Structure 1
């Protein structure tokens, strides 16, 4: 489209912001005094920020035995030995004891009961398995329990044929194969390289009376058995389930499946043959399918971080399909998610995966790039997101985000305070190691803390913090700068080191400093107030509020704008070694709109144009608007044109020659 002349006046965005934001610093400039003498340009100091960094300490290990160190205690064995004190897999989901009090068969009748509000042990199970006897314990929170069961009643009543098919497939297929469709455009390559297969592709006509089991290859051939040089990657996925059985928790909690609680729950007809007749060995809490899907999805996401959020979403969708199947309740699925995340972290952080995960990651990357013809990491990233929503069910970030937000809690009302500070479990930072490779382990822990879910939801307030981890949000970067944050990215290493996008709305009083040769893009409605300093590489503003509410200081790096609106800043300073690169579009999109002072001590201004923008000779483009503008760029370059900059006391315009 062509651009008509734009008058030199402040944009509506600038006029709206001026009354509510006050410039932080009044500046002098090169100008004439009463005697006609020029005054030197006064260059402000860089933003100071808080002067401290944020941390995410581990809970007291003497009070909370870390799951990561105790996962080996989660053994199937004799269920009588699974207690809160002895089994990490039982303990990590102990928030369920606020809802439900199970009867517990202890090793000896004189053993003391676990210390938990309202919890008492009995000497033997009372679960007969007879029709109508769905319980082996006592409901402690009737409202949550009723909502939990009613959710399944409603979901199975409104279930569509497509949801019925998805629920059946996710029940009967191997979970690794099932969730690998979350790889989107990479699914075929993944399944070929791993040698995954399935024999369950539809609902057979006689499935209502015949139980079909998947005879395919769930996660693929590992080690030397893999003929595609993909064995190390499959080893990692296979090992993610070590010591991760859900049976001890099922036997301990003894919470019935939803169809035992209510006859109004409509199990998928083709899954009737899969229903167990022995409730004592068929507990609903926790969901084994959900836990396994989460573990394997996180292993695949570790190997292919280009599809990290899509794989997280796919795992939670499998959990929802357990509800549509009528086989599990929301609380069952939430419990499975919590244990699955904890088990994935523990198995990534300990051997054999600890010693082999780098080799597995490198192998997966090399093999997938070769399989899809991607010459470098950027090409792999592009290929991984190359299909439209019609062909890739997880192609839309906003849709995935909404799905994850819904399925983390299933809308169940909080039962406790929602303002409790988040804690981060020991070792959880490994889950972001390949997704945020340019951050330190300590920084990744802070990301997990600042993106954690609010407290108070049923089951999710475990002492270590596993239940509140929001890995989808964490993959979008920090949720808050509660300390100053420095980000160093090495573009030569490729992948997310070369380019990453943080989509969260970042709050806090801390400062962001961009270092290293890579590009970091900010795309949220940010309110952090400690300021932004660009000292190397590129910081890209993809939204109107990308740069928050603090001052922006560009010394030896590049600030780039790619927003579809003007980019708002408080005060802006650029030194002679800095660069401002504006990608301009219609209605002043991509221009810089300062509600305070702009000081330009030289450097470069580069102007490029967004898709669909086709300026013509004679057009005047708004580049910078400000309350005051002092100084000039050393060089102004307009891509594809010669142009003349026009500086005023309140801005800069570019006339296309």
Structure 2
């Protein structure tokens, strides 16, 4: 029989000798392993997966042909003849997909607007648009099916809304948007509002709602750095994303009425009837100003507290939907507000210096961690997600994901080519700067490209690509490896640099390589085929297909199998410096199963047990299954038990001795 432990450094020995000794694998709790002659002891170590040999890219489009919003955000003005057209006003241009549905009566920012001539730009004369659908001054319907569906959606939503929905719609209408959206912070809401010194005067629906217009006298996003030393820098950054951010230029260009003017069947929340404007010629519906402002504030807050990134972007889109439930806006209005908000946040974050952004991020974390009573990034993340759905309506990831996706399109079917590759606007990657800090700017651009919506949906196909961005999905990592992806995580930097989770279903022909000291969890139904290589750090499979359909190669670092059933791979190779950890439970939980060959050139196997699972003494547990097993581990550790390893030509088991 072979001895319990060997001390020879296998990486320094020829393969044949190494494998003769490898049967001594085990720790002080193990008995002598059973290694039959059918387990191949001499073999050529497989090479690491080759991948496709290149990285995916998402280059900025020709900036002469497609003017970047971030460079021209300052043109989003009204009352200036220089910026009165789609071609000269970035805030109008980013929404020009609406022109495939509706042609306004004039193609100028001129609803209730005049402006003197400026240089070569002629004076702007106020349009004759009355704001009343169907009259002689109105625009022209281009796509009646979509626009009819747009209004019908509001009719259905407002005639079927619940009392709770009506209350939420009222509060999100009358309260200032910065205050409203902070409840997306969940367990951090109170701490955020206290630190920011946010206030509101809107706490309920007024009893005399049919005659009283109840406006918020609070302070919206809070108090800035001039009077708030501990949180004002964070508030200042949120305030800055409102630069050049008015939706009025676009409203006064597109001249598209609110839904309750299109149909008497739209039921405005009764408490909001006094808020209906009596001047329709300056009260366009597209885009929604409330939706845009909520998006700007919530996206900026998500940047500052990425631990609540998906919850905050979800809250922004929820407020947009509440504008529909209120009867004040249509789905297309809300979509337009979201698009413009996304572009403006990117533009204004980019306009701030890196030092300014970092100072705001650091201040937010210092204040909120102190309020939460935690000192580490990991504890802060856990605290931020410590509430249940009973007190945090954004606690469930799957629910948030489904709602977010629904609110991106509100059920509209594509009306154009659905096969166009997604474009990523210039500087859009800054929106993920704190959420995916271990990726390069180029990699974050690829994440945005691979998680974007398909083309063809109404309004969303702007030339730059703002409309198709899906920030919720992007916060879950890559959607596809269309090239090889190499990441390095530095756990010493804390936060997402130390631990992150990619929850998308990752497709593509590329390869994933991990190095550094951090831990990355893969949780999706992944099908990427280029293989997986671990050179350092920890890569954890939380689903059976987490490692895709290719080979897994553990040169060093740790691969963890933590799925509820066996983790599936093609071929698995582990070198002497590598570690495999299996978190075993019932029904093959935590096992590794290869359809091809498992090649073990030594290395370590750690066997742990899922909560609630305790193997019986005398039982035999399956660890690995393979079409073929060659080699053995140098060391096997089993938490809390003495055991005997049992190798076979197609796998590895352990007998629990005591």
Partner of 2:184: 182
Going from structure 1 to structure 2, the CA distance change for 1:446 and 1:226 (only over 3 Å counts) comes to same
TM-score by length of 1: 0.91
More off after superposition, 55-64 vs 432-441: 55-64
Correspondent of 1:138 among 137, 140, 151: 140
Partner deviation per Cα, 1:84-122 (whole Å, 9 max, x = no partner): 11110000000000000001275899x9xxxxxxxxxx9
Please tell me the root mean square deviation across aligned C-alpha atoms, in Å. Answer: 2.2
Aligned pairs for 1:381-530 (under 5 A) are 381-530=381-530
Partner of 2:297: 296
Gaps of 5+ in 2: 1-15, 21-36, 118-123
The reply on whether 1:558 has 2:558 as its aligned counterpart is: yes
Offset of 1:80 from its aligned partner? 9.1
Aligned pairs for 1:564-583 (under 5 A) are 564-583=564-583
Aligned pairs for 1:66-215 (under 5 A) are 66-78=68-80, 81-104=83-106, 106=108, 125-129=127-131, 133=135, 136-215=138-217
Give the distance between the partners of 1:105 and 1:474, measured in 2 at CA: 35
Give the distance between the partners of 1:634 and 1:176, measured in 2 at CA: 58
Q: Note if contact 1:64-1:464 (Cα within 8 Å) is conserved in structure 2.
A: yes
Q: Note if contact 2:302-2:312 (Cα within 8 Å) is conserved in structure 1.
A: yes
Going from structure 1 to structure 2, the CA distance change for 1:553 and 1:150 (only over 3 Å counts) comes to same
SS in 1 for 2:408: helix
Gaps of 5+ in 1: 1-26, 112-121
Aligned pairs for 1:242-391 (under 5 A) are 242-351=243-352, 354-391=354-391
Q: How many residues align?
A: 615
SS in 1 for 2:501: strand
Partner of 2:236: 235
Aligned pairs for 1:530-609 (under 5 A) are 530-609=530-609
Give the distance between the partners of 1:563 and 1:254, measured in 2 at CA: 53
Give the distance between the partners of 2:508 and 2:190, measured in 1 at CA: 43
Offset of 1:435 from its aligned partner? 0.1
Give the distance between the partners of 2:253 and 2:483, measured in 1 at CA: 42
Offset of 1:375 from its aligned partner? 1.5
Offset of 1:83 from its aligned partner? 1.1
Offset of 1:588 from its aligned partner? 1.1
Offset of 1:123 from its aligned partner? 8.0
Partner of 2:32: none
Give the distance between the partners of 2:336 and 2:589, measured in 1 at CA: 46
Offset of 1:339 from its aligned partner? 0.2
SS in 1 for 2:342: helix
TM-score by length of 2: 0.91
Offset of 1:192 from its aligned partner? 0.6
Give the distance between the partners of 1:565 and 1:650, measured in 2 at CA: 18
Give the distance between the partners of 1:80 and 1:441, measured in 2 at CA: 34
Partner of 2:23: none
Give the distance between the partners of 1:355 and 1:259, measured in 2 at CA: 46
SS in 2 for 1:600: strand
Give the distance between the partners of 1:612 and 1:39, measured in 2 at CA: 37
Going from structure 1 to structure 2, the CA distance change for 1:648 and 1:256 (only over 3 Å counts) comes to same
Give the distance between the partners of 1:145 and 1:611, measured in 2 at CA: 54
Offset of 1:413 from its aligned partner? 1.3
Partner of 2:28: none
SS in 2 for 1:575: strand
